[in-house]
Amino acid sequence: MFGGYTEGIIILLCINSIAAMGVSLLTGFTGIFTLGHAGYMALGAYVSSLLIMKAGMPWLAGIFLGGTGAMLVAWLVGIPTLKLMGDYYAIASIGLGEAIRLILENWQSVTRGARGVPGIPPYTTLPVALAFFLVMAFAMFCLINSRYGRAFKACRDDYLAASLLGFNTAKLRVLSLAISGFYCGVAGALLAGFLSFIQPIMFDMIKSTELTSVVVFGGLGSMSGTLIGTGIITLVTELFRPISQYRMLIYGAVIVIIMIFRPEGIMGQKELGKTFFRDLTRRLKPADKRHGGGVKR
């Protein structure tokens, strides 16, 4: 249907979106800032590809087990570390992400260390990636509009008030991390099947930073913003490939500029939906009687 290149970009877009949705749930909806989620992607990628290649599992089971493996680790890690707040957790998450990468790099007998795992069967085709993306996006939108989603947001907006209202905030935070670990794990597993080759260095801190900054770019607390942000960043990075030297420079500068001029991201906390378009059309109507068209908060 498409050329190989376009197809590749669409697959990459799906994979990045799945990972970004995971981070968005944690950072945007639960208010826990993370800088180590590439570690969970690495776990998903390694668990699934090793299970598929060494244990001869079908790839679908491999992807699910990769995601589940990442989820389990996230859950185990979350119980003790999510007692930490704010910047303490951010630094701890760098440590955890790097620790996962270093373990993969040094556990030579299983992971082949820094040389990476070549020859993974290319199971991530366009329909597979699209199907995973659609199912997981649907599940995520259901989740954030459910009781749990509102509980996560309550944790984000006021941790103390939420716990006074009877929410088990500690448990909710761990749950949010576990789900986001699952999303990142599945994304990692799909990435392994897409590239046919994985290496620990692919999941370093720069990747983690990218995941988080995409979420911030889209708008903290907006899932559709996250998807738009991922789309824009993935496409822009592809467009800038010819001037790859300046790519990362522009990318860094864009993050700073967004933080200065529109720190709430593209979408803020709004979701793309009926109300969003209604607000937009209302704002675009000229000569509104209300004082000042767009009310600034």
Contacting positions for other proteins (CB under 8 A): 33, 80-81, 83-84, 87-88, 90-92, 94-96, 98-99, 102-103, 105-106, 159-160, 164, 205, 209, 212-213, 216, 220, 245-246, 248-249, 251-256, 259-260, 263
Please tell me whether residue 117 adopts helix, strand or coil conformation.
Answer: strand
Cα–Cα nearest to 211, from 203, 222, 199: 203
The nearest distance, CB 157 to other proteins, in angstroms, is 13
The nearest distance, CB 252 to other proteins, in angstroms, is 3
Residue with tokens 């860094």: 252
Note every long-range contact of 286-293, with CB atoms under 8 Å and residues 24 or more positions apart, other chains counting.
none
Cα 290 to Cα 61, 278, 279, 297: the distances in Å are 57, 16, 14, 15
d(CA 268, CA 45): 32
Residue 120 in tokens = 């993974």
The nearest distance, CB 265 to other proteins, in angstroms, is 10
The nearest distance, CB 66 to other proteins, in angstroms, is 23
The nearest distance, CB 72 to other proteins, in angstroms, is 17
Residue with tokens 């378009």: 277
Q: Which is nearer to other proteins, 90 or 272 (CB)?
A: 90
Q: Which is nearer to other proteins, 10 or 205 (CB)?
A: 205
Q: Which is nearer to other proteins, 105 or 271 (CB)?
A: 105
Q: Which is nearer to other proteins, 186 or 255 (CB)?
A: 255
End-to-end CA distance of the chain: 46
